[in-house]
Copies of this chain bind each other. A is one copy, B any other.
Amino acid sequence: MEDLAKTALLFDFYGELLSDHQRQIFEAYTMEDLSLAEISSQYGISRQAVSTMVRRCRKALSDYEDKMHLVAKFENIKSVVSEINVLAGVIEAPEAAKIEKLAGEILGDL
């Protein structure tokens, strides 16, 4: 998986386990693409401190995944539901349209 997409997923699942302060700074750097200098001046901490915090958050998120495997679990569900969606697409029955709709709901939520 592409690095930013993976970070976004990890953050989506485990971001709530970071402190508010960590989450804000990590989000500013990785998701909102602010520079170390911008975040440093915005939060009144050194660039070095921002950089260290971002690195630690990245490690923490990745450690949570190593323990809990939730991103992997959801990715697996997503891929199986996509398969269901494709299969339903070739069936000519009103129930198949309903299946597609339900599969789409799951994929939209994930």
Contacts and interface: CB of A to CB of B under 8 A. Distances in A.
A91 interface: yes
Nearest to A73: B109
A29 interface: no
Nearest to A98: B87
Contacts of A98: 87
Chain A's interface size range is: 20 to 34
Contacts of A73: 109
Nearest to A105: B80
A76 B13 contact: no
A32 interface: no
Contacts of A28: none
A88 B88 CA distance: 9
Given A16-B67, A17-B68, A70-B70, A81 B99 contact: no
Given A87-B95, A91-B91, 14 more contacts: A14-B68, A16-B67, A16-B68, A17-B64, A17-B68, A80-B105, A81-B81, A83-B102, A84-B102, A87-B102, A88-B95, A88-B99, A91-B93, A96-B96
